[in-house]
């Protein structure tokens, strides 16, 4: 879960959100929230926040692209106080488009390490990360050895030729992974890794993460990338086609 801000009021609101609430208000305030997250845990977060602070939440639900488009259309007239998006690449897009107002918050800076927030400027920080996802390797144990896929780098090595399946490289999930590789390996090594990854594809990229897992199960691929919660979703599924 990612949190970003547009107005100076956020310093007090975010401190309350993180458990530092204690301010009394002369009138009942409202927090305007644009959220791309739709989970039961968030509902509890919002309810507890209102109970702790007395601040009601006025929420607009949409996907990440819809929220960014709305912010761009609203411009400086946007009523949004807090934005929740679900991927670092989308946050980076919003930041580069100038849609977020940076803030300075000692509470957030103390709670969230620099690696999980935007690089600060003289005006403050544009966004902070509140949770992370794991993008993991799914593989066919009958065709692939664990030691051949226990790092991302190995997915681009010749030993995995013709085995890899993935969703589109332009999808934010993969863009975030590629950006992480760039930070760790540098430009030249990341470019070489990506070329190796493409040369190891079992088929053209298509579908979502669940499609990649099913492609491994069916034998179309030997290796895939998926966010962990898609694996859990399949494991819990009662659909007959998901059981195998």
Residue 16 phi, psi (nearest 5): -65, -40
| pLDDT (average), residues 138-147 | 96
The 3-class SS string of 172-239 reads HHHHHHHHHHHHHHCHHHHHHHHHHHHHCECCCCCCCHHHHHHHHHHCCCCEEEEEHHHHHHHHHCCC
| Strand ranges in the chain using DSSP code E only, listed in sequence order | 2-5, 30-35, 56-61, 82-85, 127-129, 135-139, 164-165, 223-227
Domain 2-129 and domain 135-242 have a common topology? yes
| pLDDT (average), residues 218-244 | 91
Look up residue 179 and give its two tokens: 């950006």
Res 163 pLDDT > 90: yes
Question: pLDDT confidence of 28, banded at 50, 70, 90?
Answer: confident
Q: Is 14 helix (H, G, I), strand (E, B) or coil?
A: helix
Q: What ranges do the domains of the chain cover?
A: 2-129, 135-242
Q: CA dihedral defined by 145, 147, 153, 158, rounded to 10 degrees?
A: -50
CATH 3.40.50.720 given to domain 2-129:
no
- Write down the pTM of the prediction: 0.71
Nearest-angstrom CA–CA distance, 136 and 188: 23
Share of residues in the chain with pLDDT > 70 (%): 89
Strand pairing report for 127-129 and 135-139: unpaired
Specify the pLDDT at position 242. 85
Specify the pLDDT at position 149. 97
CB of 108 within 8 A of CB of 128? yes
Specify the pLDDT at position 18. 37
CATH assignment, 135-242: 3.40.190.10
Close Cβ partners of 244 (under 8 Å, ≥ 6 residues apart): 217
| pLDDT (average), residues 126-147 | 92
């Amino acid at each position: 879960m990612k949190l970003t801000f547009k107005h100076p009021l956020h310093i007090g609101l975010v401190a309350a959100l993180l458990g530092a609430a204690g301010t009394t208000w002369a009138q009942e305030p409202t927090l305007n929230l644009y959220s791309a997250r739709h989970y039961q845990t968030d509902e509890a977060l919002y309810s507890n926040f209102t109970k702790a602070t007395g601040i009601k939440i006025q929420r607009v639900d949409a996907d990440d692209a819809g929220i960014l488009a709305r912010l761009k259309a609203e411009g400086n007239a946007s009523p949004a106080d807090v934005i929740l998006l679900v991927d670092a690449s989308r946050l980076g897009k919003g930041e580069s488009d100038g849609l977020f107002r940076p803030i300075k918050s000692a509470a957030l800076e103390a709670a969230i390490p620099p690696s999980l927030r935007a690089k600060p400027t003289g005006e403050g920080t544009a966004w902070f990360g509140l949770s992370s996802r794991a993008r993991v390797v799914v593989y066919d144990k009958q065709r692939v050895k664990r030691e051949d896929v226990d790092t991302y780098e190995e997915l681009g090595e010749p030993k995995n030729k013709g085995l890899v399946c993935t969703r589109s490289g332009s999808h934010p999930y993969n863009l975030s992974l590629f950006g992480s590789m760039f930070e760790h390996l540098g430009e030249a090594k990341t470019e070489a890794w990506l070329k190796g990854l493409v040369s190891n594809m079992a088929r053209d990229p298509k579908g979502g993460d669940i499609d990649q897992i099913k492609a491994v199960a069916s034998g179309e691929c030997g290796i895939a990338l998926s966010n962990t919660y898609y694996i859990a979703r399949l494991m819990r599924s009662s659909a007959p086609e998901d059981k195998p």
